[in-house]
Amino acid sequence: MTLAATTHLNTPAVSLPLAQRMSRMKTSAVREILKVAERPDILSFAGGLPAPELFPVEAIAQAHAEVFAHEGPAALQYSTTEGYGPLREWICAHLAERGLSATIDQVIITAGSQQGIDLVAKVMLDPGDVVVVENPSYLAALQNFDGYQARIEYVGSDDEGMRVDELEALATRCRPKLIYIVPNFHNPKGTTLSLERRHALVRFAQKHRVLILEDNPYGELRFRGEALPSLASLDDMGVVVQLGTFSKTLAPGLRLGWAVGSRELTRSLTIVKQSTDLHTGTLAQRATARLLAKFDYDAHLTRLRAVYGQRCQAMLDSLEAHMPEGTRWTRPDGGMFLWAELPRGMRGEDILPRAIEQKVAFVPGSPFFAAHPKAQCIRLNYSNRPPELIDEGMRRLASVLAAQ
């Protein structure tokens, strides 16, 4: 038998014409930094990583074992695009406890909330459509909107979140199609949208018939202050779609999230998901549904909040103790990040290589801006390190800044 010649992967390839959208898409600065920053010898505060020691590993393993014991063939079979019914029912009940009433046909299971962003963009955006974000904003969402050739407009942000008062002026020069916002413990800033602005944002969207994409991956992680109503719970006209996820509470490796919106929009999301991946993993959905049926999820959340609150306070205390004069930072009430502004004249991109030399890492802030980046800003993640390592990491970072 004659074997065909083998083509090696390192053989130079012809230059293929890519889609026009690829000219707009940039590599993720965070992902590139993590290639270096996640070395075991580096104290990294760069990734958006939950604490792995808090993953309920045994409970998740037991749930998978029960699925294989009692429903193995069904769990390994194709399933419906909308998602596993009992899991969607649990999500509806969970949302109802938080003031958001939804029926099962308004919920679709996604491969993490990141897929929810992609599906909403695919349903809503034609090339040139306007997406409004706050500046800075979640980097992967900006990448996604660029991929659909949207026109990204921005409004400012401060310690109370998005500057909703700037939306009317923006609407006089363009017609927004979508508003993207992380209202609770914003990525990258850690800030929370105030109650007054929540009401104002929903009123604006209803008046102008604009869809709000409420990305809420960190909402369960409040460790200070009173919970605020979701944008979706304030909406009675179907102008809000909310995304949620188990990535920050159970484990990101499950790749389970959800989108909840009007029945009409959920139907559209289902249609585009059918052509994207058919459905989210059946095994993970069934195992998570079994887990949640008997796992004390609220007690687990209480533990997460306590630990993350302690780690956030440790970082705030360390910044106060070690950072040079002129450094400023946000004070989150929950979530996984805080945002720091370096002393005048310092740039995050310039500081990072020196920080890596001192075995500490962060994410420069510039990539998070839709326009007019502030190079002196950086993002710090506190959820993934215990207090003693947080303090050591901030000492190392402070020494780098002091050397400048």
In this predicted structure, the answer to whether residue 336 has a pLDDT above a threshold of 70 is yes
What pLDDT does residue 183 have? 98
What pLDDT does residue 14 have? 72
Residue 201 CB partners (closer than 8 Å, separation 6+): 162, 164, 167, 179, 181, 193, 212, 231
Residues 174 and 215 in one domain: yes
What pLDDT does residue 24 have? 74
What pLDDT does residue 363 have? 94
In this predicted structure, the answer to whether residue 234 has a pLDDT above a threshold of 70 is yes
* Cα separation, 74 vs 82, whole angstroms: 16
* Cα separation, 276 vs 255, whole angstroms: 15
What pLDDT does residue 397 have? 97
Cα-based distances in Å from 110 to 50, 61, 363: 20, 21, 27
What pLDDT does residue 249 have? 98
Query: Is there a domain that residue 1 lies in?
Result: no
Residue entry with tokens 């990204």 = 152
Query: Is there a domain that residue 46 lies in?
Result: yes
Query: Which secondary-structure segment (H or E) carries 211?
Result: strand 211-215
Residues 276 and 334 in one domain: no
Confidence of residue 364 (pLDDT cuts 50, 70, 90): very high
Picking from 279, 294, 309, the residue at the C-terminal end of a domain is 294
The CATH number of residue 235's host domain is 3.40.640.10
In this predicted structure, the answer to whether residue 1 has a pLDDT above a threshold of 50 is no
Query: Is there a domain that residue 40 lies in?
Result: yes
Confidence of residue 18 (pLDDT cuts 50, 70, 90): confident
Residues 281 and 304 in one domain: no
What is the strand order of the sheet 151-155 is part of?
A: 107-110, 257-260, 240-245, 211-215, 176-181, 130-134, 151-155
Query: Is there a domain that residue 85 lies in?
Result: yes
- For 283-332, write each residue's pLDDT tens digit: 999 999 999 999 999 999 999 999 999 999 999 999 999 999 999 999 99
Residues 63 and 161 in one domain: yes
Is residue 60 within 8 Å of 379, Cβ to Cβ?
no
Higher pLDDT, 9 or 57: 57
**Structural domain that includes position 384:** 21-55+299-403
Residue 253 identity (one-letter amino acid)? G
Per-residue tokens: 350:
């310039």
Residues 87 and 113 in one domain: yes
Query: Is there a domain that residue 7 lies in?
Result: no
Mean pLDDT value across residues 349-357: 94
Mean pLDDT value across residues 387-395: 98
For the chain, the domain total comes to 2
In this predicted structure, the answer to whether residue 23 has a pLDDT above a threshold of 50 is yes
What pLDDT does residue 8 have? 60
Residues 246 and 321 in one domain: no
CB atoms under 10 Å from CB of 15, counted, come to 6
How confident is the prediction for the chain on average, in pLDDT? 94
Confidence of residue 380 (pLDDT cuts 50, 70, 90): very high
Residues 143 and 43 in one domain: no
Q: Do strands 240-245 and 211-215 pair parallel, antiparallel, or not at all (unpaired)?
A: parallel
Whether the predicted model's global pTM rises above the 0.85 cut: yes
Picking from 237, 261, 294, the residue at the C-terminal end of a domain is 294
Query: Is there a domain that residue 13 lies in?
Result: no
CB atoms under 10 Å from CB of 140, counted, come to 16
Cis peptide before 183 (omega within 30 of 0): no
- For 25-54, write each residue's pLDDT tens digit: 676 666 667 676 678 889 999 988 999 999
Picking from 294, 324, 344, the residue at the C-terminal end of a domain is 294
Query: Is there a domain that residue 269 lies in?
Result: yes
- For 86-114, write each residue's pLDDT tens digit: 999 999 999 999 999 999 999 999 999 99
Confidence of residue 198 (pLDDT cuts 50, 70, 90): very high
Query: Is there a domain that residue 396 lies in?
Result: yes
Residues 31 and 144 in one domain: no
Residues 68 and 204 in one domain: yes
What pLDDT does residue 352 have? 94
Residues 40 and 82 in one domain: no
- For 139-170, write each residue's pLDDT tens digit: 999 999 999 999 999 999 999 999 999 999 99
What pLDDT does residue 40 have? 85
Mean pLDDT value across residues 258-273: 98
Mean pLDDT value across residues 270-292: 97
Mean pLDDT value across residues 190-197: 98
Confidence of residue 21 (pLDDT cuts 50, 70, 90): confident
